[in-house]
Chains A and B, each alone.
Chain A
Amino acid sequence: MAAHSAVLSASKIINPFWVGRLGNTAKVFGTTLISHRNKTSLTGENIPPPAKYGGRHTVTLIPGDGIGPELLNHVREVFRFTCVPVDFEVVNVNSALETDDDMNNAITAIRRNGVALKGNIETKHTLPASVKSRNNVLRTSLDLYANVMHCQSLPGVQTRHKNIDIMIIRENTEGEYSSLEHESVSGVVESLKIITRNNSLRIADYAFKLARERGRRRVTAVHKANIMKLGDGLFLQCCREVASGYPEITFDSMIVDNTTMQLVSKPQQFDVMVMPNLYGNVVSNVCAGLVGGPGLVPGANYGHVYAVFETATRNTGKSIAEKNIANPTAMLLASCLMLDHLKLNDYASVIRNAVLTTMNETRLHTADLGGQGTTLEVVQSVMRVIQSKGQFTAEL
């Protein structure tokens, strides 16, 4: 408490030159502190104050496996260059270990900082089935119930279908990813798919709120309720209930197999899509393929309290790790989403515009886009564009 008031008074005597430079930081800092003090989340837990001190945010960074570490290093380099007021607390998770200590450290760090940027943590198939997917554990422990992916055709990337602009909202904590399986009889495995009214209402509400905020016209629920009458039937019913509260938004539903067929033939018909976990996995991967591949699309996982940003298709990219050929676009755009979340919108815009400008240069396209550019070339181009826009930067 004393520290907080000390910093508040310090911000008042900050050199006016720096106040101008930092914009509204002092004001924002003050308001944020007050609004978060003693705030409780819906589940009754106390939300800690944001990890922001002296105008700088602290964000947890989980390098993960495969291409994660190198791409996140590039993100840090771009942030350093652009003088973004974010400090990273790096937490390593060793995917080969069977114990949960690493994951617990990571989760605690995210609880502490509220926001994280991560690479994918490999789920080794050789570990026993009792060891759950680490990424999944992270999402469920922090209740990051909404996975949001915005799939847009990029002007500089040649694809079969153009003018795609789809928002995919995927339920992130239950469904087929509940990790509840058993083998009561040898050779016969039963997997439980869990659909709950609460989580379905929650995700539908998130989808409609987001649609309203962004001025989107249509929300499509993707399901297989003709077969899974109770499970997906419940999900669909919850979506309908929530839809009735948003009369300006058209709601319809589509069966998942038809959805994938429509996506590969006429993707322009979709606007906002909401669905349970597994269908979300499938649909988001198909959409990523439609706009140019996994190297281009960022993803975000939101809960009521925490937010974790990563690439949309969550691939480890083991085969291309450390070869300087991975596409850094997805991770850079994910870091921009994170900056937007931290209300550092100006920095987000600068970096995002630089990335999209670089994408227009076909000769800088990496291998996944059919080019021969290296990761480093792309990153350096991004930094050059940022510098050329007159942004205050560190040395190249």
Chain B
Amino acid sequence: MVLYRVLSSSPNKPANALQSTLLNMQETIREPMVQDPTQFDVLVMPNLYGDILSDLCAGLIGGLGVTPSGNIGANGVAIFESVHGTAPDIAGKDLANPTALLLSAVMMLRHMGLHGHAKKIETACFDTIRDRKVLTKDLGGNSKCSEFTEAICQRMKDMD
């Protein structure tokens, strides 16, 4: 029923000054999230609201094809996954967008403490998408999954 909104410290405040605000669902969903989602940083909430809000936010950033996620348990046990469906209609045809799963893997690397590798893969992935030369169909391009992946790998090679 309530959401905590945690704002990161602004440049004018000391680095360790975190603000948290109690927001009820109404104030979060309506105007702010749909009209100006940039005001939010970290949101924590119970299960059902998380289900709804996470899909809502995925819709804001381009859909489930590019949204990574992770499920964290006690003692560092964690499962990272993309939350889109199995897409049986395009399975095995080298058409799928691997971004969601790739970024989930990046989250996993960060969880394992391999920040350098995580940063490298993430940057290569974002740069490839930003470049708009090699994109899969769901992002408006014509390339295959393997071509997209190859482009990311090439970028990482060029980074070294």
Give residues in A with beta carbon < 8 Å to B: 224, 256-258, 260-265, 278, 281-282, 285-286, 288-290, 293-294, 313-315, 368
Contact = CB atoms under 8 A, between A and B. Distances in A.
B59 to A, nearest CB: 4
Contacts of A258: 55
Contacts of A288: 30-31
Interface stretch (B3-11, B12-20, B46-54, B97-105): B46-54
A102 to B, nearest CB: 23
Given A261-B63, A265-B63, A294-B31, A286 B26 contact: no
Contacts of A260: 52-53, 55-56, 59
A264 B33 CA distance: 10
13 contacts: A257-B55, A260-B53, A260-B55, A261-B59, A261-B63, A264-B34, A281-B25, A289-B30, A289-B33, A293-B35, A294-B30, A313-B30, A314-B26
B73 to A, nearest CB: 20
A263 B59 CA distance: 8
Contacts of B33: 286, 289
Contact of A289 (B34, B58, B64): B34
A261 B31 contact: no
Interface of B: 25-27, 29-35, 48, 51-56, 58-60, 63-64
A293 B30 CA distance: 7
The 9 residue pairs across chains A and B that have the minimum distance between CB atoms: A289-B34, A261-B59, A285-B30, A257-B55, A264-B59, A260-B56, A261-B55, A285-B29, A289-B30
A315 B23 CA distance: 13
A293 B31 contact: yes
B59 A265 contact: yes
Given A261-B56, A263-B59, A265-B59, A286 B64 contact: no
Given A286-B56, A289-B32, A315-B26, 12 more contacts: A224-B51, A256-B51, A257-B55, A260-B56, A261-B59, A262-B59, A265-B59, A282-B25, A285-B30, A289-B29, A289-B35, A368-B31
B97 to A, nearest CB: 16
Nearest to A159: B35
A281 B26 contact: yes
A257 B51 contact: yes
Contacts of B34: 264, 286, 289-290
Contacts of A285: 25-26, 29-30
A224 B53 CA distance: 14
Contacts of A263: 56, 59
Nearest to A291: B34
Nearest to B55: A257
Nearest to A265: B59
Given A257-B51, A289-B35, A313 B26 contact: yes
B26 to A, nearest CB: 6
Nearest to A293: B31
A264 B26 contact: no
B86 to A, nearest CB: 15
Nearest to B53: A260
Contacts of B31: 288-289, 293-294, 368
Contacts of B48: 224, 278
With most chain B CB atoms within 10 A of its CB, the pick from A256, A263, A285 is A285
Contact of A286 (B27, B30, B54, B58): B30
A1 to B, nearest CB: 47
B63 A286 contact: no
Contacts of B60: 264
With most chain A CB atoms within 10 A of its CB, the pick from B33, B34, B60 is B34
A314 B30 CA distance: 11
B139 to A, nearest CB: 13
Contacts of B55: 257-258, 260-261
A257 B30 contact: no
A282 B59 contact: no
Contacts of B59: 260-265
A271 B133 CA distance: 37
Nearest to A315: B26
A256 B52 contact: yes
A257 B85 CA distance: 13
Nearest to B36: A289
A281 B29 CA distance: 10
Nearest to B30: A285
B56 A264 contact: yes
A282 B52 contact: yes
A293 B31 CA distance: 5
B68 to A, nearest CB: 16
Contacts of A264: 34, 56, 59-60
Contacts of A313: 26, 30
B52 A257 contact: yes
B4 to A, nearest CB: 14
Nearest to B51: A257
Given A256-B52, A282-B25, A282-B52, A261 B58 contact: yes
With most chain A CB atoms within 10 A of its CB, the pick from B30, B55, B56 is B30
